A and B are shown apart, each in its own frame.
Chain A
Amino acid sequence: MQISVDHARCEGHGLCADQAPEVFSLDDDAELTYHFDGADVPDEHRSAARVAVNVCPVAALRVLP
């Protein structure tokens, strides 16, 4: 499973990082860091990652088909 991050949409609300801190975090500048860019999200973090995609208030995250 891969996730795409639309950085133009992301406003740094941080709800994704609350749900899946292993997958997303905000740096000191409140910019989103996605830890698996271009790679598959490891199995053990998949369900948390799905929840994170689901809560992003501006739909900046998508699970790639």
Chain B
Amino acid sequence: MTARTDAPLYRADIYSAAAIRDTHPHYAALRALGPVVWLSKQKVHALPRYAECKAVLLDDETFISGGGVALNPLANRVGRGTTLFSDGEDHARRRRQVAHRLTPKALRAMAAAVEEQAAEVVEAAVAGRNVDGVELATALPMSVVPDFIGWPQDGREHLLRWAGAAFDGLGPANRQAVRSLPSSLGMMRYARRVVRDRSVLDGSMGHDLQCAADEGRVMPDECAKLMIDYLAPSLDTTISAISSALHLFATHPEQWRLLKADPSLIPNAVNEVVRYESPIRAFSRTVARDTELAGTTLPAGSRVLVVYGSANRDPLEWDDPDTFDIRRDASRQLGFGQGTHGCAGQGLARMETSAMLRALVARVDRIESTGTPEWALNNLIHRYERLPLALIPA
């Protein structure tokens, strides 16, 4: 249903290539229009401000995920059965299967290995001096996450492309989403085969899921879906956070010096990076029953778009939102979502991003930008495609 209300109208397409490359001015324009804005191109109500985004995320009975959180009907159908696209008891049961592996407590066992891998990655990069920041940011997640999920060695070369495509496909049905379809389906087919052939790595999260299926706690087909649930959002997002951190510290040398002087700022620096350049732009919800939000009546069955990236720059919530400052308390940022669907992988993402920053702080005197960065063209993921940098050793 596309029931438009009398909310102010935004005609520009926030999913055009130009808007993906230069996204923040669009968010500012949306916020200036009001708390609820009708996107005429996508025919949904967008929520560009912090307060309404948060209210919607915390009210998961009125704003449901079971109808999908994508912006096109095909993706909303294909994604059925995932944790991300479910509500209530179904959601709780699916999340329970694996979320316990991702808690900070469970991750402690991995911490030392992740620190070590981060140190190796940074040492190799410092030796090369001129690096592509995106490549540098990719190395750690790629060496940690596939093992953790239990993805077999064979097929890993496709993971990044598949995961990126899965996100692209959650946008509106534009040219990019259509182009991503074969890759998304490829990932689904591959995941089903991994489950069928029982080729997940022993002791991994995927192995847990396989056991859950054997014991009848999840259906076999659910098993493949849940693997994707955890695989798709676990690479590009973290790569985005790490590469944005590299760019932000290259372009804010005073912030880098603060971090070097006091590495205990690292956890909050991760929050500030995720606030400032939120890796996921937006997800949607279906309105379950007629309701009112900030004075706008939203009809049951319509869709709202929670724009994390804009909420995190809302001047009604943040002082000088466009200033990158690792000393501000950024812990209430919404870049990981919040509430029932709050990111299940944030402990791992924080751990990887912090490990990279610690390794950099210890080995690098300063980070210099050596060329113009380029943003990747993806409907959902806000990350660099190319980030030319020089790492000056300490």
Contact = CB atoms under 8 A, between A and B. Distances in A.
B331 A19 contact: yes
Contact of A13 (B58, B108, B339, B347): B347
A63 interface: no
Nearest to B60: A59
A57 B105 contact: no
Given A11-B347, A13-B347, A18-B331, A58 B340 contact: yes
A15 B331 contact: yes
A27 B108 CA distance: 14
A29 B366 CA distance: 37
A59 B331 CA distance: 14
Nearest to B334: A57
B136 to A, nearest CB: 27
Contacts of B99: 11
Interface string A8-19: 000111110011
Given A11-B347, A13-B346, A18-B331, A59 B103 contact: no
B28 interface: no
A2 interface: no
Nearest to A62: B58
A42 B202 CA distance: 49
B332 A58 contact: no
A51 to B, nearest CB: 8
A35 to B, nearest CB: 20
A12 B225 CA distance: 26
B342 interface: yes
Nearest to B58: A59
Contacts of B332: 51, 54-55
Interface residues of A, number: 16
B62 interface: no
Nearest to A19: B331
A30 B105 CA distance: 6
B105 A59 contact: no
Contact of A29 (B58, B100, B105, B267): B105
Interface string B329-351: 00110001111101110110000
Max chain B Cβ within 10 angstroms of own Cβ: one of A11, A13, A15, A18: A11
Contacts of A55: 331-332
Contact of A57 (B108, B267, B346): B346
A12 B331 contact: no
Contact of B103 (A11, A18, A51, A54): A11
A51 B347 CA distance: 20
B104 A59 contact: no
Contacts of B108: 30
Contact of B340 (A31, A51, A59): A59
A19 B58 CA distance: 20
A60 to B, nearest CB: 10
Contacts of A54: 332
Interface in B78-117: 99-100, 102-105, 108
Given A11-B100, A51-B332, A57-B338, 11 more contacts: A11-B344, A12-B103, A12-B104, A13-B347, A29-B105, A30-B105, A30-B108, A57-B337, A58-B338, A59-B340, A59-B342
15 contacts: A11-B100, A11-B102, A11-B344, A12-B104, A13-B346, A29-B105, A30-B103, A31-B105, A54-B332, A55-B331, A57-B343, A58-B339, A58-B340, A58-B342, A59-B342
Interface of A: 11-15, 18-19, 29-31, 51, 54-55, 57-59
